[in-house]
Structure 1
Amino acid sequence: MSLVLVTRDDAVATVTLNRPEAMNALSRALRAEFAAAMRGLAADDGIRAIVLTGAGERAFTAGLDLKELGADTGNLRAANAEGADENPVKAIELCPQPVIGAINGVAITGGFEVALACDMLIASTNARFADTHARVGVMPGWGLSQKLSRLIGLGRAKELSLTGNFLGAEAARDWGLVNRVVAPADLLPAAQALARDIASADPAMVRAYRALIDDGYALPYGEALALEHARSSAANRTVSADAVEARRLAVMKRGRERAG
C-alpha cells in the first residue's frame, strides 16, 4: 500500500498522507515517500498549486511515529536531519507551488509543524491542533517554536506549547491559525477550489509573489519594505503596458463572472 497518494486535476495536485490506521503518523518510510512525491510535483511545471491532507477523518497527521521512536531513538536524530527525506517540512518548502493544508482531523506535534509549513490552512470541523512536545519530552525541530508565536501571538503560543492542550477548529480560525472552517464533506472541495483560484493566476507571478511574502516575513519590517522595493523595481521594469491592459481586462471579466 502506498503511504502517500497523489492525484492530479489539471493544474492542481492533491497529496494524501495514507496511514489512517496509525493516524497518518510520520514513519520514516512515509517521510521518504512524501519527499519523493513533493520532489516530483516541484519539478512538474503543469502543477500550479498543491493540496495536502490526511486519509480518513481522524487525523491530518499525529506527527512522528512514537512507536518507531520508542524502538530506536536513532529515528529521532534522523528526523532532525536537514534533508527532505527525513524532514517533511523541508519537503514542503522545496516546492515552488503554494501548498494548501486541508486539515481533516488532529494535527499533533510534528503534524502541527507540517500544517504550519503550508501556505494557508482550511480546517474541517473535526480538526484539532496540539503541541505535545513538552509532554513527550522532545524539542521541536521543524519550526513550531518560532512559527506559532508569529502566527497567533506569544501568549497564545506559550499556552498551547506549555500545556499540550488541544485547540479546536473554530478557535484556531478565531486565533488566525486557519483561514476558514468547513464541514468534513466540504473540506477537499473547498481546498481544491482555492487551489484552482491560485492556479488560474500567472504561475511565475504567483511563485515570485509568494517568495516575496515569505522572505519579507522573515525580516524586520524596515528590511522587508526595502526588499519589496528592490524586487518590485526590478520586476516592474520588465512589464509592458500591453500586458497590464490585457490582464486588467481579464481581471474585470473574472469579476463580472463571479458577481453573476
Structure 2
Amino acid sequence: MYENILTEIQERIAIITINRPQSLNALNSKTISELSDAFGKFNEDDQIRVIVLTGSGEKSFVAGADIKEFSDFKTPEAEELARNGQNILFNKIENLNKPVIAAVNGFALGGGLELALACHIRYASENAKLGLPEVTLGLIPGYGGTQRLPKLVGKGLANELIFSAKMLPAARAKEIGLVNEVFSPEDLLPKTLELATTIVRNSPMAISKAIEAVNLSDTEKGFDAEIKSFGQLFEMEDKKEGVAAFLEKRKPAF
C-alpha cells in the first residue's frame, strides 16, 4: 500500500516505520504524504489506542529532509513546503486524539528531530544523535523546530542547539528533557511497546482530552481547557466505568 513506510498492528498499538534505509529514512514529499495518510487512518480506527513511530534499521530515525527536493525552490515554494508539511503531518501528529510515541533509533536531524518533537513522547536508543543543522545550509528549521524545541528544553538551550547546529548524544538529550528515556538499540522498541501497552489500558477519552489540554498549556486557554474537559468527562462512559471499577475493586474495561 505504501512505498516509503511500513505499518503493523500489535495489541491495539499501531507501529509506523519509515522505510527508506538507502537515504537514512530522509523525509521527502511522498513520505510525508504517506505518513499523513497512515496517521489519519489509525486516528480514525477505534481499535487503535496508541501509535508508535520509528525508522528502519539502527542507524537512523530520520536523517532530515530530502534536500534534493527543494534545493532550487524560491520563497513562495519554500513557504508552501513548510506550511503544507506542518499542516498535513507535524501539526497533525501533535493534535491527534491518540498518543504518538517516537522510538528514535538513530539519527534524528533537521526534519527528523522536528518529527520527533511533534510526537507526544520520545524514547531513544543509546546510539541516537539529535540536532537541527539547518543553519549550516543557510536556513532555519521549517517544520516547527523553532517553536516546539524551546517548549521542551527552554529558549537558552534551544537557541544553542539551533545556532550551533551541533548534534546531541542520546544521554545529553535525556538530561535536558529532549527525550524521556534512553535504551540500548535492541531494547528500544520493546520498551516503547511496553509503555504503549500501559497507556492502552487507560481511558482513551481521558487521554484525548489530556492531549488537548497539554497542547494548550503554554497559552491563555490552557486552564479553561482543562476545566472544561474535566467537566465534560464526568458525563462520558469512560468516567462511569473507571469510577465503578475503582469502587468495585476491579480493573476498568475501557
How does the TM-score come out when normalised to structure 1? 0.86
Are the equivalent residues in 1 in contact too, given 2:18–2:55 (CA < 8 A)?
A: yes
Are the equivalent residues in 2 in contact too, given 1:80–1:87 (CA < 8 A)?
A: no
- 2:35: which partner in 1? 34
Cα distance in 2, alignment partners of residues 191 and 231 from structure 1: 28
Cα distance in 2, alignment partners of residues 210 and 6 from structure 1: 23
Sequence identity (%): 33
Cα distance in 1, alignment partners of residues 241 and 36 from structure 2: 41
Q: Secondary structure at the match of 1:25?
A: coil
- 1:8: which partner in 2? 9
Matched, 1:80 2:78: no
From 216, 226, 229, the counterpart of 1:228:
226
Cα distance in 2, alignment partners of residues 170 and 82 from structure 1: 33
Cα distance in 2, alignment partners of residues 72 and 82 from structure 1: 14
* Matching of residues 106-117 of structure 1 within 5 Å: 106-117=107-118
* Matching of residues 158-169 of structure 1 within 5 Å: 158-169=159-170
Residue identity opposite 2:219 in structure 1: L
How does the TM-score come out when normalised to structure 2? 0.88
Q: Secondary structure at the match of 1:35?
A: helix
RMSD (Å), alpha carbons: 2.4
- 1:256: which partner in 2? none
Q: Secondary structure at the match of 2:123?
A: strand
- 1:130: which partner in 2? 131
Are the equivalent residues in 1 in contact too, given 2:26–2:64 (CA < 8 A)?
A: yes
* Matching of residues 56-71 of structure 1 within 5 Å: 56-70=57-71
Residue identity opposite 2:53 in structure 1: L
Q: After TM superposition, give the deviation of residue 80 of structure 1 in Å.
A: 1.5
Cα distance in 1, alignment partners of residues 107 and 39 from structure 2: 22
- For 1:161-197, what per-residue CA distance to the aligned partner results, in whole angstroms no more than 9, with x for missing partners? 0000011100010101111100000011011111111
Are the equivalent residues in 2 in contact too, given 1:107–1:128 (CA < 8 A)?
A: yes
Q: After TM superposition, give the deviation of residue 95 of structure 1 in Å.
A: 2.8
- 1:257: which partner in 2? none
Q: Secondary structure at the match of 1:181?
A: strand
Q: Secondary structure at the match of 1:101?
A: strand
Matched, 1:177 2:175: no
Residue identity opposite 2:84 in structure 1: E
Are the equivalent residues in 2 in contact too, given 1:23–1:60 (CA < 8 A)?
A: yes
Aligned residues: 248
Are the equivalent residues in 1 in contact too, given 2:32–2:85 (CA < 8 A)?
A: no
Are the equivalent residues in 1 in contact too, given 2:95–2:212 (CA < 8 A)?
A: no
CA, structure 1 residues 82+180, in 2 after alignment: closer, same or farther (shift >3 Å)?
same
- 1:219: which partner in 2? 219
Are the equivalent residues in 1 in contact too, given 2:13–2:196 (CA < 8 A)?
A: yes
Q: Secondary structure at the match of 2:135?
A: helix
Compare 113-122 and 26-35 and name the one that shifted more: 26-35
Residue identity opposite 2:189 in structure 1: L
Q: Secondary structure at the match of 2:178?
A: coil
* Matching of residues 178-197 of structure 1 within 5 Å: 178-197=179-198
Cα distance in 1, alignment partners of residues 195 and 147 from structure 2: 27
Are the equivalent residues in 2 in contact too, given 1:87–1:142 (CA < 8 A)?
A: no
Residue identity opposite 2:195 in structure 1: L
Residue identity opposite 2:141 in structure 1: P
Compare 197-206 and 157-166 and name the one that shifted more: 197-206
CA, structure 1 residues 87+165, in 2 after alignment: closer, same or farther (shift >3 Å)?
farther
Are the equivalent residues in 2 in contact too, given 1:79–1:87 (CA < 8 A)?
A: no
Q: After TM superposition, give the deviation of residue 21 of structure 1 in Å.
A: 1.1
Residue identity opposite 2:147 in structure 1: Q
- For 1:86-135, what per-residue CA distance to the aligned partner results, in whole angstroms no more than 9, with x for missing partners? 85313423531100000000111111110100000000001111111211
- For 1:55-92, what per-residue CA distance to the aligned partner results, in whole angstroms no more than 9, with x for missing partners? 111111012101222255687444213367x8531342
Q: After TM superposition, give the deviation of residue 237 of structure 1 in Å.
A: 5.7
Unaligned runs of at least 5 residues, structure 2:
none
Are the equivalent residues in 1 in contact too, given 2:49–2:204 (CA < 8 A)?
A: yes
Unaligned runs of at least 5 residues, structure 1:
253-260
